[in-house]
Chains A and B, each alone.
Chain A
């Protein structure tokens, strides 16, 4: 019987080793798998390369991981925000490496990795600092930059519901990077609000087919905990 469900968030992240690359879903705090990240901090892996849209908000999620000193490098599109103080401090102290990627290129490069492509030619960033030194090509009269896929050892994402095959549905704009990160990581781990019986997710509306997901763990939504 295929059963990708695990009993706890700590079991879900137990094999994340020092030096791993880890994609973390979320746009700001929407879709941020806070409980998986808390478990990762407790687990103790360090020297991590994190791929995520932002460099943490407030005190939870990626911000907590950075605060704990576990992140060697972050690949993201929008690190600087009103509440990115933990990243800002580490960056200014030269304790964290930043690779800045335009958001759409980040998404396309992650998707390319998941789709088995060797790279993409993207018009985004052409002629800017972020494309300096990169190969370019003119195709049908338009200029493109060659960008390589971004893959990772692990992806930590957040869904609404899963079944034991790993099929996932999301909630509103918390979907964001979840589906493509699941494709691009060797081991994709999803925390969900509930794991439902096989067959109860409508196959017409499953967003991430279970083939892209290796582990699911149920965790009550943050809103419910706060209430």
Chain B
């Protein structure tokens, strides 16, 4: 059984992003999804700091400190791209204009609750940024994460123990073991890596699972 590495996970998410979609990729791991979008598929990336039509990183020496992404890294603007202020940017999210957002997570519940902003650890300085707006605003919210913590605990849970980012907002979870749909009916397995069975996956994930319709 070969778990997907982070590149393979990003490539797997990219497969599910259709032509014409308006997409916001969260900071960290989700940003890598952009590298795997096929060149012949026109997908329009939004960045919370006021840009649509975000392109890849500039060539060395071409960086512009006024042209950055949500992670404050230099980016480029594609032909057709646009700049706008912060209230418009978040209206795009909250108003349901963004088709898909992809976020990282500490935990996701089988009902689609998301925890990804704060661990409540002693001494941790809380920071939320745009996570709460993105999570509940996009038409579909995807999570991309390793299924297990470094300590081996499942991050797909019955109910989040970390502080919530949003309630019932995640629809699909891409992990290194499997792809899950989550929602009011609980978690179902869309696909899993070779060599894994539903029973074995359920043992690893520690939550009740069923096969999604059409999965197998």
A interface with B by C-beta (< 8 Å):
27-31, 53, 57, 77-81, 88, 91-92, 98, 100-108, 110-111, 122-130, 170-180, 207, 222-223
> Once bound together, how far apart are the Cα atoms of A223 and B66, in whole Å?
10
B72 within 8 Å of A (CB atoms): yes
Indicate if the CB atoms of A123 and B136 lie closer than 8 Å: yes
Q: Beta-carbon contacts of B86-121 to A below 8 Å, as 1s and 0s? A: 110110011000000000000000000000001000
A123, closest chain B residue (CB): B136
Indicate if the CB atoms of A102 and B133 lie closer than 8 Å: yes
> Once bound together, how far apart are the Cα atoms of A223 and B166, in whole Å?
40
Indicate if the CB atoms of A172 and B72 lie closer than 8 Å: no
> Once bound together, how far apart are the Cα atoms of A135 and B184, in whole Å?
26
B93, closest chain A residue (CB): A104
Inside 8 A of A178's CB, which chain B residues have their CB?
Answer: 85
In order of increasing CB-CB distance, the 7 nearest A-B pairs are A104-B90, A104-B133, A28-B72, A78-B129, A107-B86, A102-B132, A80-B127
Contact for B94 among A104, A130, A170, CB less than 8 A: A104
What is the CB-to-nearest-CB distance from B20 to chain A, in angstroms, rounded to a whole number? 24
Q: Beta-carbon contacts of B132-147 to A below 8 Å, as 1s and 0s? A: 1100110000000000
B200 within 8 Å of A (CB atoms): no
Indicate if the CB atoms of A177 and B85 lie closer than 8 Å: yes
Indicate if the CB atoms of A107 and B90 lie closer than 8 Å: yes
Indicate if the CB atoms of A174 and B166 lie closer than 8 Å: no
Contacts A77-B127, A80-B124, A173-B50 supplied; 7 other A-B pairs, CB < 8 Å: A27-B68, A104-B90, A108-B90, A124-B94, A124-B132, A128-B164, A129-B118
Contacts known (A108-B87, A173-B83); A30 close to B137, Cβ less than 8 A? no
> Once bound together, how far apart are the Cα atoms of A107 and B86, in whole Å?
6
Contacts known (A127-B164, A175-B83); A107 close to B118, Cβ less than 8 A? no
> Once bound together, how far apart are the Cα atoms of A174 and B163, in whole Å?
32
B interface with A by C-beta (< 8 Å):
47-51, 64-68, 72, 77, 83-87, 89-90, 93-94, 118, 123-133, 136-137, 163-167
> Once bound together, how far apart are the Cα atoms of A47 and B44, in whole Å?
44
Contacts known (A91-B125, A110-B87); A122 close to B163, Cβ less than 8 A? no
B64, closest chain A residue (CB): A172
Indicate if the CB atoms of A176 and B132 lie closer than 8 Å: no
Inside 8 A of A30's CB, which chain B residues have their CB?
Answer: 49, 65-68, 72
B72, closest chain A residue (CB): A28
Chain A binding surface SS class: mixed
Indicate if the CB atoms of A171 and B130 lie closer than 8 Å: no
Inside 8 A of B130's CB, which chain A residues have their CB?
Answer: 77, 102-104
What is the CB-to-nearest-CB distance from B44 to chain A, in angstroms, rounded to a whole number? 16
Contacts known (A122-B94, A124-B132, A130-B128); A29 close to B65, Cβ less than 8 A? yes
What is the CB-to-nearest-CB distance from B74 to chain A, in angstroms, rounded to a whole number? 10
Indicate if the CB atoms of B127 and A79 lie closer than 8 Å: yes
> Once bound together, how far apart are the Cα atoms of A44 and B45, in whole Å?
43
Contact for A104 among B51, B64, B66, B137, CB less than 8 A: B137
Inside 8 A of B128's CB, which chain A residues have their CB?
Answer: 77-78, 100-103, 130
> Once bound together, how far apart are the Cα atoms of A173 and B82, in whole Å?
10
Contact for B132 among A107, A128, A180, CB less than 8 A: A128
A79, closest chain B residue (CB): B127
Most buried by A among B50, B132, B133, B166: B132
B92, closest chain A residue (CB): A104
Indicate if the CB atoms of A103 and B136 lie closer than 8 Å: no
Contact for B49 among A108, A122, A126, A173, CB less than 8 A: A173
B47, closest chain A residue (CB): A173
Indicate if the CB atoms of A128 and B125 lie closer than 8 Å: no
Inside 8 A of B51's CB, which chain A residues have their CB?
Answer: 172-173
> Once bound together, how far apart are the Cα atoms of A221 and B129, in whole Å?
27
Inside 8 A of A31's CB, which chain B residues have their CB?
Answer: 66
Indicate if the CB atoms of A176 and B49 lie closer than 8 Å: yes
Contacts known (A27-B72, A77-B128, A100-B127); A124 close to B136, Cβ less than 8 A? yes
Most buried by B among A77, A177, A178, A207: A77
> Once bound together, how far apart are the Cα atoms of A120 and B65, in whole Å?
33
> Once bound together, how far apart are the Cα atoms of A122 and B95, in whole Å?
10
